[in-house]
Chain A
Amino acid sequence: DGGITQSPKYLFRKEGQNVTLSCEQNLNHDAMYWYRQDPGQGLRLIYYSQIVNDFQKGDIAEGYSVSREKKESFPLTVTSAQKNPTAFYLCASSINFMNTEAFFGQGTRLTVV
């Protein structure tokens, strides 16, 4: 089945620890995105990648880091510098960066205690 997979679905971490969220797609899409969603809110763009080995900061990149070493993978690391990391994280991909629909994973709910 083609699609975009996020893992794990739920993640708990202690304050001060870095944590990496996985996002894999087998759709052969060039573009990938990470969004953060807080309760009752819209999606805010953290990082995006137009093509392998390239990525750009979104609107709320502080405290996060990404890599895009392979076309199918775009992991997000939530670092200890992120002041309020508890949120629902969504990964998406699209054929290219312009004018095409995005396909979303099912999300990872991160809780930092």
Chain B
Amino acid sequence: SQQGEEDPQALSIQEGENATMNCSYKTSINNLQWYRQNSGRGLVHLILIRSNEREKHSGRLRVTLDTSKKSSSLLITASRAADTASYFCATTGTASKLTFGTGTRLQVTL
């Protein structure tokens, strides 16, 4: 079963614009992570936010977590063509399994 669902499934923006992706999950979590996947490659870890944190920044990335709504958002500011990829949220809950969402495909055009 997939714990998280990303929204939107696909997003197309122009270079320089901001991209926002959302993740909703079903059960209590210990932390939530965001990963990036270039086509046909492995995943790369972007950022981890713990259940007692509400916001976290890393470079052009901003992640928020609302445990009352069981949701998280990933904001990429000033997007670049190189940001084109699929983005996944992943949660670790009481069962301690790392469970991934369905992903958002981001296309950044020049």
Contact = CB atoms under 8 A, between A and B. Distances in A.
Interface string A73-113: 00000000000000010101010011111111111010000
Nearest to B95: A56
Contact of B98 (A42, A102, A105): A102
B102 A107 contact: no
A13 B42 CA distance: 22
Contact of B42 (A40, A59, A105): A105
Q: Is the interface of B mostly helix, strand, loop or mixed?
A: strand
A101 B41 contact: no
Interface residues on B, range: 20 to 34
A92 B101 CA distance: 16
B99 A98 contact: no
Contact of A90 (B33, B42, B45, B99): B42
13 contacts: A33-B98, A40-B105, A42-B2, A42-B103, A43-B43, A43-B100, A88-B40, A98-B96, A99-B48, A101-B45, A102-B43, A104-B35, A106-B41
Closest 5 CB pairs of A and B: A104-B42, A43-B100, A101-B45, A42-B102, A104-B43
Interface of A: 6, 33, 35, 40-45, 48, 50, 58-59, 88, 90, 92, 94, 97-107, 109
Interface of B: 1-2, 30-31, 33, 35, 40-45, 48, 50, 88, 90, 92, 96-103, 105
